[in-house]
Structures are given as C-alpha cells and as structure tokens.
C-alpha cells in the first residue's frame, strides 16, 4: 500500500519525506488555509519536495469552472492531481479532464455508488473518507471493503485512496483490505512506527552491551562500540 501524507505543511512533508517512505501528498482547501500563505506558491513548493502525486483541490462547483481551474492547477507541476468533489458537475469535469490526460482524484466519496460512477467518469483516484463516516456512526472501513470488491468485480483501475484517517488502526485495516493508498496526517504517521516493546528492547540491549563492555571482553573484539 502506498503512503501519502494528508497535509499542506512543508515541515511535516519534509519530515515524512526524510523517512524515505512517502509516495505522495493530498491537500484540501482546509489544509491549505491553515498554512496562511499563497496556496499556489505552497503547492509549487510541495511539488518540488515530493516526486509522487500531489492532490490540489478545485473550489469551482460547475463543470466548466472545474475544468478551467483544473487546467490552471495542472500548470503548477507535472505531478499535480486535480481533486474534485464527487458531484454530478464533478463527474462531467472528470470525464473532460480524463480525455485531456489531466489526472483526477474524486474526493468526499461516501458511498459505493459514488465510487462506481467516478470510476466510470475516468477518475484516476477516488478518496472515500473513513473517519468522517465513523464520526457519524457508519463503518468507514466497510465502505473501503465494498468499493474494493466492486472495483475487483469489474477490473476497475481507479486507485482507492483511504482518506480521513484518524489513527493507526485505520491504516492497518486499509492495508488488510488491499487499498491502493492511505493518505495519513503527520500525527498518525508518527504513531505508525511507535511500539513500547521496541523502546524497551533497545534499552535492554544497550544495558546488556554496557555490562559486557565493563568485563573488558569487548576491547579484544573488532566491534568496540
């Protein structure tokens, strides 16, 4: 499963990228607004940091406006993917953009029927929001399972980006289902690697090594640390 970071914050992107495990970035108007800087300039900086797909969302709601905005956003960098809300106007725009080879990520997807239609419109990615479904007592992960099944039934190539991830279990469940991508906020990425037994294990190994060092046996060995 590919790992995207869900943020518009450059420091977070740099930190995740430095781990060498980052495959892409998703942004949205809320995340860009948080940064309080020019969004286009920020997207340019993000695209220069990360080689993989970087999603930039349109604000327009009508198909014509979405297409025009998408073409402008696509000029930012070759790795820009246009994020479009899952609406009837969004579908029309997606069909048009797909015929022009402009990549799209259909966002705010909350049902299998929506996911099937966006695939038919030629979307490259679909973003079902698991956390926001959980928030209203629907099973977000069940939606991912269902979309995966339907896409498999018809050999659909639209990639599933599990979005609105709130904790590591969402990430693990997404991988168990076989989702293509998980887009994860930085605070969750940090938690993915943590395990108290790893920390306890390192502490114990170092203590035991220290004990061995005191015996002088280690000074005769080639490994002297």
Contact, 130 vs 146, CB < 8 A? no
Positions in 176-205 near ligand E4P (CB under 6 A): 183
Rounded least distance, CB 6 to ligand E4P, Å: 5
Active site (annotated) includes residue 83: yes
- Helix, strand, coil percent content, the chain, rounded in steps of 5: 55, 15, 30
Active site residue: 34, 71, 83, 203, which one? 83
DSSP H or E stretch at residue 77: none
Contact between 132 and ligand E4P per CB under 6 A: yes
Build a one-symbol-per-residue string for 78-117: x at contacts with ligand E4P by CB under 6 A, - elsewhere.
-----------------------------x----------
Q: How many CA atoms lie within 13 A of 180 on its CB side?
A: 17
Q: How many CA atoms lie within 13 A of 42 on its CB side?
A: 22
Using CB under 6 A as the binding criterion, the count of chain residues that bind ligand E4P stands at: 11
Do strands 181-184 and 159-162 pair parallel, antiparallel, or not at all (unpaired)? parallel
Residues forming the active site: 83
List of residues contacting ligand E4P (CB under 6 A): 6, 26, 28, 107, 127, 129, 131-132, 163-164, 183
């Amino acid at each position: 499963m590919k790992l995207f970071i869900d943020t518009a914050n450059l420091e977070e992107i740099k930190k995740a990228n430095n781990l060498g495990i980052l495959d892409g970035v998703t942004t949205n108007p809320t995340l860009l607004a948080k940064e309080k800087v020019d969004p286009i300039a920020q997207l340019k900086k993000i695209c220069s940091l990360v080689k993989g797909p970087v999603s930039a969302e349109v604000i327009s709601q009508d198909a014509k406006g979405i297409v025009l905005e998408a073409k402008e956003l696509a000029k930012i960098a070759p790795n820009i993917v246009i994020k479009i809300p899952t609406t009837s106007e969004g579908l029309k725009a997606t069909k048009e953009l797909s015929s022009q080879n402009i990549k799209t990520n259909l966002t705010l997807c909350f049902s299998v029927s929506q996911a099937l239609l966006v695939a038919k419109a030629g979307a490259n990615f679909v973003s079902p929001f698991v956390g926001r479904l959980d928030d209203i007592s629907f099973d977000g992960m069940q939606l991912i399972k269902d979309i995966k099944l339907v896409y498999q039934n018809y050999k659909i190539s639209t990639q599933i980006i599990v979005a609105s991830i709130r904790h590591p279990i969402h990430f693990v469940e997404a991988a168990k289902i076989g989702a293509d991508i998980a887009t994860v906020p930085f605070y969750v990425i940090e938690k993915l690697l943590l395990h108290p037994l790893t920390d306890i294990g390192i502490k114990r190994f170092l203590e035991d090594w220290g004990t061995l060092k005191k015996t002088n046996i280690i000074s005769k060995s080639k490994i002297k640390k």
